[in-house]
Structure 1
Amino acid sequence: MSQFYPFIFEQMQEWDKEILITNKNKYTFRDLHSKVEEFIHFLQQHGDVKAKKIAILTPNLFPYLSLIIAINHLGGTVIPLNPQLKNDDLASILSLIEPNIVFTVEEVNGVPTKRIIKDSLTKNDISAVMFTFVEEEVEVEQLYGTKDSNIKEEIDFIVCTSGSTGLPKGIKLSARAIKKWTEALKWGLELEKKDQIFLTIPITAAYGITWLLTCLRNGVQMVIPESFDMPIVLQLLRSNHCNKLNTTPSIFKGIYIFSKQLNIKGLENISLCALAGEQVSADLVETIKDLKSCRIINSYGLSEQGVLMYTNDIRSEAVEWSMAKGNQYKVDNMSENGIGELMIKTSYGFDGYYLNDGMTQEVLSKDGWFATGDLVTINEQGKIHIVGRKKQIIKKGGVQVIPTEIELFLNKHPKVVNSAVVGIPHTVYGEEIIAFIVPKAECTLEEIFSYLRKNIANVKIPGKVMKISELPIIQGKVDKVTLRNRAIEYCAEE
C-alpha cells in the first residue's frame, strides 16, 4: 500500500511555512504533521484499522485532510463523503459501502448529519463505530449489527458518487494513482513552490483530494474558503495575494461580477486560472473578455482516470485540448457526422467500481482502454472537441439529440444566463426534450422558442422550456438527475 505520509513529510524542510489558509484559520506544515500524528495515535487506541472501511463526513477541511493522511498511513480504506449529499443519496452510499468506522459531525447547515448516518447504519444492520466531532472533543459510539465486513482486497480510497443515473457507485483508487495524478496538475498549472493558489474545489471528490495532495507535495500554499459567502471569498482572495486560481466556470463568473459590483479587487494578481467541472459557456467568455491580467484555461478529467487534458485560453479563436503526458486517446464508434466516444488509456487509472465488476467491465477493456462516456470530434490536426455526454443523449422519435448542442445555443441568447437540457419519457416520441433556463432579464418563452426555431432543427426544439432561478449543482456539476425528476413531476401534473 502506497502512503502519503512520507510523500508529504519525508523531505520536509519548511515546517513553519503556512501551507493551508481558510477563512477560519491558517495552518503550517508543522500544524498538519501534529494533527496527523494525533489522529494516528487516536486510531491506534481504538484498535487496528488495517483493511477497515473508514468514512469521513465533515465540512471542516483541516481535520478532514489530516484524517486522510492518518488513515492511509495505518492501512485503512478512506471513504470521503460529501457533506452536501441529499439524505437519500447519503443513505444509498452508506448501504453500498457498509463502513466499519465513520467520522462525522452533529449537523451540517442545520441538517442532522449524525442522526441520518446512525439511522441508515442501524436500518441496514451494519456494525460500526461512530466518531463524532463535538467542538474539540470526539464522542465515540458503537453500533451493533450483523454486518461487519472488512475489505478482502487492498484499497486505498473508495470515492463515492451518486452518478449520472442517480445510482451510487464507489470508485476504487490507489494512493499510487493519485500520486501520479498530482504530476498532471503540477504540469497543467505550471506550479512552483512560490505560488499561492486559490481553490474552490469539491474536497471529497477524487479531483479535490488530488489537488490537496498536489499542493502539499510541492509546497504550494493553498487558500480555500470553507463557506461560500462572496464578500468573504473576495476578501480571502485579495488579502492573500493569490497568483493562481482553480474553480468552476460558474464560481469564476460570480467572483468576477461581484468583484466589479462591490469594487473589491482580488483578481488583479491572478496570472493563470484553470476551470473545471462544468461546460464553459459563451456567456462566461463574453463576461470576462475584458479580464486581460490572466490566462484562463479549461481542464478535463475523470474520477476514474485523473486529470487528462487542458485547453489553451478559452477566449482564443480556436480552443483546443492538449493531452497530459503519458495518456493515449482514440475515438470509438464514430458516426457519419464525425462524432464518437472518447477512449482513454493511462498507466494510472482506477481499480474498478466497488462490488460492481459488471460496471467495471462495461467501461474498461481488457487491454486498458477506458470509455469516458464523452462524445467528441477530432479535427484534421488531431485536436479534440467535446460535444456532449453519451449517457445524456436524448432519443426523440428515432433521432439522437445531444443536449449540449441545445444548451450552447440557449446560452448564447442575450437574456439567458445558463441552461440545462434533459430528456424525459414520452409515449409517442420515446423521449421528449425539456430545457431549463436561468433568465438574465425578463423574457417570454415565445422569445426563446422563436430563437431556437431560427437556429436548430425542429426535432431538437424542446417540448417545454422552464424558467429556474438557478441550476442545481452537485459535486461541481449540474445535477441533471434532479432536473429530470422535476421535469417529470411537472409534466405529470399538467
Structure 2
Amino acid sequence: MIHMTTIGNMLDDTASKYQEKEALVYHERGLRYTFGEFQAICNQAARGFMSLGIQKGENIAIWATNVPEWVISQFATAKMGGVLVTVNTSYRVHELEYLLRQSESTTLLLMDSYRDANYLAMIQEICPELQTCEPGALQSKRLPHLKNVIYLGDEQQPGMFLWSDLLERATWVTEEERNARQAMLSPDDVINMQYTSGTTGFPKGVMLSHVNIVNNAIKVAECQRLGLADKVCIPVPFFHCFGCVMGTLACVATGATMVPVIVFDPGVVLAVVEAERCTALYGVPTMFISELNHPSFAERDLSSLRTGIMAGSLCPIEVMKKVVDQMGIRDITIAYGQTEASPVITQTVPEDSLERKVSTVGRLHAEVEAKIIDPATGDILPPGVQGELCTRGYLVMKGYYNMPEETVKAIDHEGWLHTGDLATVDEEGYYRITGRLKDMIIRGGENIYPREVEEFLYTHPKVLDVQIIGVPDVKYGEQVLACIRVKPHETLSEDEVRDYCEGKIAHYKIPRYIQFVDEYPMTASGKIQKFKLREQALELFGQSNPNQTGTA
C-alpha cells in the first residue's frame, strides 16, 4: 500500500493519537517532547519560517549536527512547504558555496562550528555582506538567492537571525494561515533535497517528495517491527537519509520515540542506550565496531536493545556476530539502497538467518520493483548472474535539481532508476551487492566520488595528473588512495598534498594513501585502467575482506 500523505499530515495524525507519548528525547540536554509538544514546536517554527516570507517550494538549507533545531526544522519546513536542503557537516568553503549556489537556497540555518570547522567563519568568507546587512536582507554577490541566515546559537551574529528570533516571529503568522499553507501541499511535492555526487564529480541535488520518503520510512519501520513501545537511538547524521528518513520519519510514522545523539561518540551512544532503555540502534559498521570496543562497553546494560539497522558500508561477518551476541540486538536488520531511492531498496527482517544478514542485503521492500540487467545490452539476467541493479516504484526520486541531463542518465524512459551497483539475486529473492559500475568509494558510510577529489587535486600547482581509487580497509570499509603524477621538474611530498587538502575538502575525502607514479596503466585507446591501479594498490596498501556484504 502506498500512503498518499504529507510529512506534516503524518505528524498531525500521530500526534492526535498519542498526544502524551514521548516523541523526542535528547538525553544529553535533558530535553523531552511528547508528540503533542513536538507538534506544537514544529507548528511554531513553521509560522516563523513563513514570517520570513518563505514560499512553498523555496529551498531552505541546514548545516548542523543532530541538534534539536534540525529535527524541528525538518518537520516545520515540511508543514509550510519549504524544501529542506541537507548539508554535510564535513563540508568546507568550496563545497558549501557550490551547494548553496546550485540549490538556489534562499535560507540557511547553521550552527557555530563542528570539530575543526568554523561554520560562521566560512559563511562570512563567502558572504562578507553579512557584516553590514540587516537580518533577512542579505544581498550576496556570490550567492544571489540567499536572503536569510539563521544562527542556531545564543549570541547575536551580524546579518543573521537567531533561532529564538524565528520562534518569536511565529506570532506574525496565524495558525489559520499555517494550516492553509499545509493544506496546499501535495504528497507529490518535492520536500527534501540531499546532495550526492556521481560520475561527473559534481554534487547533484536529489529531489525527494513526501510520497518518496514517508513511504520508505514506513517500510523501513515495518522491517524492524517498530511500534509504540520502541525507542530508537539515532547516532547517524540527520543530513543523510539514514538519519532523517530511516530515523526520524520512521519513528513519527509508527509512534516510536526518537532518541538522537548530537555527535557520534561511542561512549555517549552506549550511555544513552542504557539510560533511555532504547530498543533499537542505528549505525554504519564502524560505529558498531567503536561501540563494541569502547572501554565502558562491558559495564553497560544494553539488555533493552532488540532491533536496529546496520547500513551505509560493508558489513563484516564478525562484527555482525558481536552485535547479535554481545550487544544483544538479535533482530538487527541490514539495509541497502541509495539516496536516489529514498533511500532503501532491500532490507532483511528479524526472521532472516544470521547467514542471510551477513551474506545478503535482504529482499525488496513491498511496492518496490527491481531487475538485474546486463549493463551492455539492457537484457534482464537470470538469478545468480551478476549485472546492474535497477529499481522502480514510489521510491524513485523526482530527479536531480536543475540537472535534467543527469536525471535522464539515471532514470530511463520506463521509470527505472539505474543504481550503478552490480548485484545478484537468488531464487528466493535475496540480493547481494557485488561491486559498482561506477567507482564510488564508501568510507565509513560516507560516499566519496573519485572525480570530485580528482578535480580538486588538479588545482594543486605541482599536480600533473591524479587518479583516485578505493582501497579495502578493515575499519572503514574503504580508504582513499591518490595516484599522482607530478609535473616535470617539480617535487611533491605526501604531507604537502594532505596540507593542501586540509580545510578545503571534507576530512573523509582527504587521501589516506598517496602514491607517486610516472605513468598509469592504459588501454590501447588511451583510457586509464583504474582496475589495474586498484590491483596494484591492493598489493601495496590493501587487505581483502572476503566475508563482507555491501549495504546502503
TM bin (shorter chain) = 0.7 to 0.9
Contact between 1:105 and 1:133, CA under 8 Å: does it hold in 2? yes
Contact between 2:521 and 2:532, CA under 8 Å: does it hold in 1? no
Cα 1:318–1:360, aligned 2, differ >3 Å: closer, same or farther? same
Q: 1:46 deviation in Å?
A: 2.1
Q: For residues 187 and 174 of structure 1, what CA distance do their matches in structure 2 show?
A: 20
Residue identity in the other structure for 2:159: E
Match of 1:47, SS? coil
Residue identity in the other structure for 2:529: E
Match of 2:147, SS? strand
Match of 2:244, SS? helix
Q: 1:339 deviation in Å?
A: 2.1
Residue identity in the other structure for 2:236: I
Q: 1:467 deviation in Å?
A: 8.1
Q: Answer yes or no: is 1:302 the counterpart of 2:338.
A: yes
1:348 matched residue in structure 2 = 395
* Equivalent residue in structure 2 for 1:169, among 204, 211, 218: 204
Structure with higher RCO (Cα < 8 A, 6+ apart): 2
1:263 matched residue in structure 2 = 298
2:444 matched residue in structure 1 = none
The range that moved more, 154-163 or 345-354, is: 154-163
Q: Answer yes or no: is 1:226 the counterpart of 2:301.
A: no
Which consecutive unaligned segments of at least 5 residues does structure 1 have? 144-152, 395-402, 436-458, 469-475, 478-494
2:546 matched residue in structure 1 = none
Q: 1:229 deviation in Å?
A: 2.7
Q: For residues 358 and 531 of structure 2, what CA distance do their matches in structure 1 show?
A: 30
* Equivalent residue in structure 2 for 1:52, among 54, 58, 66: 58
Q: For residues 521 and 198 of structure 2, what CA distance do their matches in structure 1 show?
A: 28
* Equivalent residue in structure 1 for 2:9, among 6, 10, 13: 6
Cα 1:296–1:72, aligned 2, differ >3 Å: closer, same or farther? closer
Contact between 2:320 and 2:358, CA under 8 Å: does it hold in 1? no
1:319 matched residue in structure 2 = 359
Query: What TM-score does the superposition give when structure 1 sets the normalisation length?
Result: 0.75
Residue identity in the other structure for 1:265: R
Query: What TM-score does the superposition give when structure 2 sets the normalisation length?
Result: 0.68
Match of 1:355, SS? coil
The count of corresponding residues between Structure 1 and Structure 2 is 422
Cα 1:419–1:266, aligned 2, differ >3 Å: closer, same or farther? farther
Match of 1:16, SS? coil
* Equivalent residue in structure 2 for 1:374, among 421, 434, 444: 421
Q: 1:80 deviation in Å?
A: 1.9
Match of 2:75, SS? helix
Q: For residues 189 and 125 of structure 2, what CA distance do their matches in structure 1 show?
A: 29
Q: For residues 80 and 373 of structure 1, what CA distance do their matches in structure 2 show?
A: 23
Match of 1:156, SS? strand
* Equivalent residue in structure 1 for 2:78, among 45, 62, 72: 72
Q: 1:161 deviation in Å?
A: 2.8
Deviation sequence 1:348-406 (CA, Å, 0-9, x none): 32100011111111111111111111101233445322111111289xxxxxxxx99x8
Cα 1:30–1:42, aligned 2, differ >3 Å: closer, same or farther? same
Aligned residue runs from structure 1 range 93-104, under 5 A: 93-104=99-110
Contact between 1:77 and 1:157, CA under 8 Å: does it hold in 2? yes
Q: For residues 231 and 191 of structure 1, what CA distance do their matches in structure 2 show?
A: 25
Q: For residues 289 and 259 of structure 2, what CA distance do their matches in structure 1 show?
A: 19
Contact between 1:104 and 1:130, CA under 8 Å: does it hold in 2? no
* Equivalent residue in structure 1 for 2:125, among 115, 119, 125: 119
* Equivalent residue in structure 2 for 1:181, among 187, 195, 216: 216
Q: For residues 540 and 254 of structure 2, what CA distance do their matches in structure 1 show?
A: 48
Q: For residues 53 and 127 of structure 1, what CA distance do their matches in structure 2 show?
A: 10
1:274 matched residue in structure 2 = 309
Deviation sequence 1:65-120 (CA, Å, 0-9, x none): 22222222222222122222233222221221121111223333352213323433
Contact between 1:206 and 1:303, CA under 8 Å: does it hold in 2? yes
Q: For residues 88 and 480 of structure 2, what CA distance do their matches in structure 1 show?
A: 25
Q: For residues 357 and 39 of structure 2, what CA distance do their matches in structure 1 show?
A: 47
Cα 1:287–1:17, aligned 2, differ >3 Å: closer, same or farther? closer
Contact between 1:313 and 1:319, CA under 8 Å: does it hold in 2? no
Contact between 2:65 and 2:238, CA under 8 Å: does it hold in 1? no
Match of 1:191, SS? coil
Residue identity in the other structure for 1:310: Q
2:151 matched residue in structure 1 = 133
Cα 1:162–1:85, aligned 2, differ >3 Å: closer, same or farther? farther
Contact between 1:53 and 1:101, CA under 8 Å: does it hold in 2? yes
Match of 1:234, SS? helix
Q: For residues 34 and 357 of structure 2, what CA distance do their matches in structure 1 show?
A: 43
Deviation sequence 1:262-300 (CA, Å, 0-9, x none): 522243222223211011024424655743832333111
Cα 1:348–1:242, aligned 2, differ >3 Å: closer, same or farther? same
The range that moved more, 187-196 or 158-167, is: 158-167
Q: For residues 292 and 131 of structure 1, what CA distance do their matches in structure 2 show?
A: 42
Contact between 2:218 and 2:253, CA under 8 Å: does it hold in 1? no
Q: Answer yes or no: is 1:462 the counterpart of 2:462.
A: no
Match of 2:17, SS? coil
Q: 1:418 deviation in Å?
A: 5.3
Contact between 2:309 and 2:332, CA under 8 Å: does it hold in 1? yes
1:61 matched residue in structure 2 = 67
1:489 matched residue in structure 2 = none
Cα 1:188–1:286, aligned 2, differ >3 Å: closer, same or farther? closer
Cα 1:369–1:238, aligned 2, differ >3 Å: closer, same or farther? same
Cα 1:207–1:305, aligned 2, differ >3 Å: closer, same or farther? same
Match of 1:462, SS? helix
CA RMSD of superposed structures (Å): 3.5
Contact between 1:343 and 1:372, CA under 8 Å: does it hold in 2? yes
Cα 1:262–1:349, aligned 2, differ >3 Å: closer, same or farther? closer
Matched-pair identity in %: 20
Q: 1:167 deviation in Å?
A: 1.7
Q: For residues 300 and 99 of structure 1, what CA distance do their matches in structure 2 show?
A: 30
Cα 1:366–1:309, aligned 2, differ >3 Å: closer, same or farther? same
1:16 matched residue in structure 2 = 20
Residue identity in the other structure for 1:63: E
1:35 matched residue in structure 2 = 41
Q: For residues 315 and 358 of structure 2, what CA distance do their matches in structure 1 show?
A: 14
Residue identity in the other structure for 1:325: A
Q: For residues 188 and 379 of structure 1, what CA distance do their matches in structure 2 show?
A: 20
2:370 matched residue in structure 1 = 329
Match of 2:293, SS? helix
* Equivalent residue in structure 2 for 1:361, among 408, 428, 435: 408
Contact between 2:60 and 2:83, CA under 8 Å: does it hold in 1? yes
The range that moved more, 319-328 or 123-132, is: 123-132
